[in-house]
Amino acid sequence: MVAIAALLPVLAACGGSSGSSEPGATPEITVVNGITSFEFLAADMAEQLGTWDKVGLKVDYIKGSGGGGQVTSTLTAGQADLGLHGGGAAALSITKGQPGKIIAVTANSFSGMVCVVNKDSDIHSFADLKGKTMGISSAGSLTDLVSQLIAKKHGWKLGSEFKQAKIGDLSQLTAALEKGVVDIICWSAEPA
């Protein structure tokens, strides 16, 4: 519950574009979360346990499976006040001109990422990925950023020498890997 308590002041401070400005009015905010992940478990639990109401916040919690791309598009469309998003992907979106501000991060490196291939795969290192396809959650997501960094590190052209397949959340990515639709998936280590 410490994580929930830590998240509540952030949400309360955000206010909300739809909230009333009257003194004593319940603050309102719309939050979008594009994935199921340990990093955002506090928000998921607060929604399920009714914590928002208990602390005097009216939160419209949009839960999806489209990853950081969904979060970015929802925020850009003005449909949410706060997005729960991979930090690297959020920074990438901002550098590409998307309006936004990063107000907190849950990790400062990719050390929490795990990359998985099928047991019988001929892939033993990132260098073996040339010509292969990586499953990502969505364009603009953390998994998208990881695939871009892999391609850049090895000097591969993304889309031809190293491909992406936009699949969805972890359960969809895992199914795609098991069926051979993709050769590798990378995800936050906690839910994997």
Report the number of distinct structural domains present in the chain. Answer: 2
pLDDT > 90 in the chain, percent: 42
CATH of the domain at 155: 3.40.190.10
- Beta bridge partners, 84, equal 33
Ramachandran category for residue 155: left, alpha or beta (phi over 0 → left; psi -120 to 50 → alpha) = left
Task: Give the per-residue pLDDT at 110.
Answer: 67
Residues 125 and 77 in one domain: no
pTM greater than 0.85 (yes/no) = no
Query: 100 in a domain, yes or no?
Result: no
Verify that 88 and 125 share a domain, yes or no.
no
Domain boundary among 95, 129, 163: 95
Domain membership of residue 104 (yes or no) is: no
Domain that holds residue 12: 2-95
